[in-house]
Structure 1
Amino acid sequence: MWDYLQHLSFWDWLAVGTLLLILEVFGAGGYLLWIGMAAAAVGILTYLFPALPWALQFLLLGLFSVLSAVLWWRRQRTAAKPSDQPGLNDRGSELLGRQFVLHEGISGGRGKIKAGDSLWLVSGPDLPAGSRVKVVGQEGVLLKVEAAA
C-alpha cells in the first residue's frame, strides 16, 4: 500500500476524478462534483510536477475540494435575486381577500369552495352550502374563511 501511495500518477487522480463525476451524475446532489474537480486538478498538478509527494497530493485534494465548494457557495449566495413573482408557488395567496360561494357547507369547521376549476378545503364557522364567504388566511392548502358581509 505504501509503495502504491509513493508512486501515484496523474492517471490515478484523473480516474478518481472521473469516477466521482460519474457518481455525481447519478444524484449525489453536488457533493461529489467539487471533490471530483479537485481530484482532476491534483491530477493536472501531478502531471506538471511528477515528484509531488503523496501526502502533499492528498493535502491539495482536501484544500481544492473545500476551496472550490466555498467559492461556489459564495457565488451562489451573491447571484441569488429575489423573485419578481413571490407568490408563484403559493397558489392560495392569490385568493386572499376574495369572496366565493361555498361549494360544500362548512360542518365541523371544514368545507369546500370552488375557485376557478379547483376545489379548495376551507375552515371557518359552520355555514350552509351556497353561503358567501371571504378568504382571510391560509395554512398550506387549507384556506381560512369567514362569512362575507
Structure 2
Amino acid sequence: MSFKIIFWYWWALAAVLLVFEMMLPGVVFLFLAFGAAAAGFVLLIASDLSLEFQLLIFAVVSVLSAVGLRRTLRRLQHIDGPPNTLNARGDAMIGRTFVLDAPILNGRGRVNLGDGSWNVSGPDMVKGAKVRVKAVNGTELSVEPAP
C-alpha cells in the first residue's frame, strides 16, 4: 500500500500556512502558502505528477512570489523608523539633550542648535548647563535640567 498525495493535501498545507501567517510576525508563510496552493492546483489538473515535481513547483512558485511581491508588500507595510519631521523640526528635538549657550534668566534663555538659535523656557540655569527638551511651544523649546 503506497501513500499518494492528492491536491487537497497541498491546499490544506496552504491553509495552515495562511493561519501561521496571521499569527506570527513577518511575511514569510504567505509565499509558502502561494507555493502550496499552486502545487495543489497543478496536481488537480495533472494527477499523476511525481512528488519531486510537486516539490519543485512548490519551491519555484514560493520563490517567485517572494521576489515578485516584495516591492508591493514593502510599500504596503509601515516601516519603523524615525518619524517624518520635515515640517515639524521642533518635534524632532523632544527628548534630546543640549547645552545652554546663554543662561536661562527669569525663565527665558537661548540655545544654538546646528545652524539656528532657539528660545528656551524653563527653570533658571547657568550658561553651559545640560538641558533636555520636554515640549515644543511654537518656536520655543520647554526644557528641564538633564540628568
- Cα distance in 1, alignment partners of residues 143 and 68 from structure 2: 44
Alpha-carbon shift at residue 72 of structure 1 (Å): 0.8
Task: Say if 2:120 and 2:142, in contact at 8 Å, map to a contact too.
Answer: no
Q: Write the mapping of 1:124-143 to structure 2, written as runs, cut at 5 A.
A: none
Query: Which deviates further from its counterpart, 70-79 or 11-20?
Result: 70-79
Matching of residue 28 in structure 1 with residue 28 in structure 2: no
Q: 1:102 to 1:53 in 2, by over 3 A?
A: same
TM-score by length of 1: 0.60
2:2 aligned residue: 3
Q: 1:110 to 1:3 in 2, by over 3 A?
A: farther
- Cα distance in 2, alignment partners of residues 48 and 104 from structure 1: 81
1:127 aligned residue: none
Matching of residue 100 in structure 1 with residue 120 in structure 2: yes
Matching of residue 63 in structure 1 with residue 63 in structure 2: no
Q: 1:75 to 1:106 in 2, by over 3 A?
A: farther
Q: 1:112 to 1:104 in 2, by over 3 A?
A: farther
- The partner residue of 2:85 within 69, 84, 87 is 87
Query: How many percent of aligned residue pairs carry the same amino acid?
Result: 26
Superposed CA RMSD: 3.9
Task: Say if 2:93 and 2:133, in contact at 8 Å, map to a contact too.
Answer: no
The alignment of Structure 1 onto Structure 2 pairs a total of residues equal to: 116
2:108 aligned residue: none
1:131 aligned residue: none
Q: Write the mapping of 1:12-51 to structure 2, written as runs, cut at 5 A.
A: 12-51=9-48
Q: Which runs of 5+ in 2 are unaligned?
A: 78-82, 97-112
Deviations 1:52-89 (A, max 9, x none): 11100001101000000000114456889xxxx93179
Task: Say if 1:102 and 1:113, in contact at 8 Å, map to a contact too.
Answer: no
- Cα distance in 1, alignment partners of residues 76 and 26 from structure 2: 19
Structure 2 residue matching 1:105: 3-state secondary structure: coil
Task: Say if 1:105 and 1:111, in contact at 8 Å, map to a contact too.
Answer: no
Q: 1:22 to 1:119 in 2, by over 3 A?
A: farther
Q: Which runs of 5+ in 1 are unaligned?
A: 124-149
Task: Say if 2:21 and 2:29, in contact at 8 Å, map to a contact too.
Answer: yes
Whichever residue aligns with residue 69 of structure 1, its letter is A
